[in-house]
Amino acid sequence: MQITEVKVFPVEDGGRLKAYATLVFDDCFIVRDLKVIQGDTNLFVSMPSRKKKDGTFRDIVHPLNAEMRSSVEEKVIEEYNKTAQQ
């Protein structure tokens, strides 16, 4: 499975939330509402999640292995950096 498109939507005055992102896989599957978050030392990508009745959050979609998680973070942060420079 390949990431074929990444779109980043910067957020102004979002505090630690820097942007939302959308990914397309193999030109046929889309995932919306990933978040680019400023951590204590660097940016990271948070997966789309839903708040449960008990107040905790559960990811709606997420990578099943470290290799795919790395690939997603790398592509999203790369696109965020391009967008932020404009």
Tens of pLDDT along 15-46? 899 999 999 999 999 999 999 999 999 999 99
Alpha-carbon Rg for the chain in angstroms: 13
Q: How many angstroms separate the CA atoms of 81 and 14, rounded?
A: 16
Which tokens go with 84?
A: 């932020």
| Residues 43, 18 contacting (CB under 8 angstroms) | yes
Query: What is the longest distance spanned by two Cα atoms in the chain?
Result: 41
Tell me which of 3.30.1120.40, 3.40.50.300, 3.40.50.1100, 3.40.50.150 is the CATH number of domain 3-85: 3.30.1120.40
pTM of the model: 0.87
Identify the residue whose tokens are 């790395």.
70
Compute the mean pLDDT over every residue in the chain, rounded to the nearest whole number: 93
